Amino acid sequence: MKQLACLVVMALLAPSLIAADCDTKGLIVEKSFLQSVHDCTEYLQIPKERLMQYMANEFPPDDETKCLLFCVGVDLGWWNNTCGLQVPSIVSYFQPVQGDKQYEKRTRECLERRVGAIESPNSCCQAYETFQCYFQEFGNLVTCPQYVRSTKLQATQAALDCLVMLRYPEKLLKVYASGKVEDSPETRCLYHCIDLRTGLYTQNGISLPRFFVRDSAYNDLRYLSKETKACRDRIRQSGCDKCTEVYNTHKECLAGLGEEGYTSGIITAAAKIALMNLGVSCSQDPKPCATKPPCHTTCTPTKPTHKTKSCPETTKKHCSVCSNLHEPAKHYSSPAANVEPAVAPSHVGRKPFVTCSKCSGGQVYNLPGRAYRGHVSSCRRCGGPTSY
Ligand SMILES: *[C@@H]1O[C@H](CO)[C@@H](O)[C@H](O)[C@H]1NC(C)=O
């Protein structure tokens, strides 16, 4: 029903309005377990026949399958190559059975038994056994796409994008780069922009389940507590502007939770990059140089400011040198082909309605040997939020 409503809205409203409701935006990634399995079979070049087996929820203990699940774990953010399991992220892909009070205990014991017992630990083995424990003991696999947290590197990119989009002056960038991220209208709106872009701030306000996943390594359950929710709601209902709502929620409700100084840290890192970018001079399009033999005419700099970067005096007669010099830039000769993956990962928006309609069907895979009828994992709207 919700998905149908989504389609109707789609037909009636302007694209900008739809984007807020049915689509992901910015750098936000929502991904289903099966989409990740599919993607990882491609990355690892696992034969198509095996994909059919995985789609049927069979994950036999062979090396190929073990490394597939390692790949899925990294892709969905529940496995970290150095630190291993990231509980908040994996938990979002499994829905405990209603009334089951033992699932956490069983999962914990399973992890001790199976992961603890691995004789010669390797990442594929550990990720596989971990998955098996959640799959068999924690609950049903959730079919809906779930929020995949941004890595710090990605969050820093989001902060950099925001600094550029909000057109903050160099003077302010220098203050941020020095490590001072103090309260001001600009800082408040920067927090707002970053949280929007990384999916932490949605139409429904600050998403506490997503913050919980963002700080996966901390597994800080206080993000999901009644007190934190009440604090968030109080600020949201106080009638302040959105920038202030986001900033005050960070300061009043989320201070001391999860990773200390996460947002100010990425702002400082992003401001440093932004300042570095200001010093970069842009090279000329290298294409004429590579394609036209009379190098010296096409490579002669037209703008004096670009002289050093685009075509040094000493090399202008040698086409090959000149084109070598610009080799990396060739990569950008077809912007359309290059921009897409960076801005919107291929799985996002490729088949939005397939994803949506999947959710309207069975939300969870039934595991053999247990009764899961009548249970519905929360997929409240298209690409709905993590179920908690
Ligand atoms: C793994 O986790 C650590 C600590 O949270 C982090 O510093 C590191 O970047 C993570 N590795 C990857 C590949 O994300």
DSSP 132-178: HHIIIII-EEB-S-EEEPPPHHHHHHHHHHHHHHTT--HHHHHHHHT
- Residue pLDDT tens, the chain, 388 long: 444 444 443 444 434 333 334 455 677 889 999 999 999 999 999 998 999 999 999 999 999 999 999 999 999 999 999 999 999 999 999 999 999 999 999 999 999 999 988 877 799 999 999 999 999 999 999 999 999 999 999 999 999 999 999 999 999 999 999 999 999 999 999 999 999 999 999 999 999 999 999 999 999 999 999 999 999 999 999 999 999 999 999 999 999 999 999 999 999 999 999 999 998 888 766 555 444 444 444 444 444 444 333 434 433 333 333 333 333 333 333 333 333 333 333 333 333 332 333 333 333 443 333 333 333 333 333 333 333 3
The residue whose C-alpha atom lies closest to atom 1 belonging to ligand 1 is 80
- pLDDT for position 34: 95
Distance CA 27, CA 345 (A): 9
- pLDDT for position 24: 58
Residue whose structure tokens are 């929710």? 229
Cα 216 to the center of its chain, rounded Å: 13
Q: How far is the CA of 215 from the centre of ligand 1 (A)?
A: 11
Ligand 1 nearest atom to the CA of residue 82, by list position: 1
Ligand 1 nearest atom to the CA of residue 153, by list position: 9
Structure tokens at 359: 């959710």
Distance CA 202, CA 85 (A): 27
Q: How far is the CA of 70 from the centre of ligand 1 (A)?
A: 15
Q: How far is the CA of 33 from the centre of ligand 1 (A)?
A: 21
DSSP 3-state of 317: coil
Distance CA 86, CA 231 (A): 26
Structure tokens at 19: 């984007």
For residue 147, give every residue at least 6 positions away whose Cβ sits within 8 Å of its Cβ, in sequence order, or none.
28, 29, 30, 92, 199, 207, 209, 210, 213, 385, 386
Ligand 1 nearest atom to the CA of residue 216, by list position: 5
CA contacts within 13 A on the Cβ side of 223: 22
- pLDDT for position 147: 95
**142 close to 93: Cβ distance less than 8 angstroms:** yes
CA trace torsion 328, 333, 339, 342 (10° rounding): -20
Q: How far is the CA of 376 from the centre of ligand 1 (A)?
A: 33
Residue type, 84: G
For residue 15, give every residue at least 6 positions away whose Cβ sits within 8 Å of its Cβ, in sequence order, or none.
none
Q: How far is the CA of 325 from the centre of ligand 1 (A)?
A: 35
**380 close to 19: Cβ distance less than 8 angstroms:** no
Distance CA 245, CA 228 (A): 14
The binding-site residues of ligand 1, defined as CB within 6 angstroms of any ligand atom, are 80-83, 151, 217
Distance CA 89, CA 74 (A): 10
For the chain, give percent helix, strand, coil, nearest 5. 60, 5, 35
The residue whose C-alpha atom lies closest to atom 5 belonging to ligand 1 is 217
For residue 82, what are the CA distances in angstroms to 86, 123, 127, 370?
Answer: 11, 9, 12, 35
Q: How far is the CA of 151 from the centre of ligand 1 (A)?
A: 8
**CA quadruple 105, 110, 116, 121: dihedral sign:** negative
DSSP 3-state of 199: coil
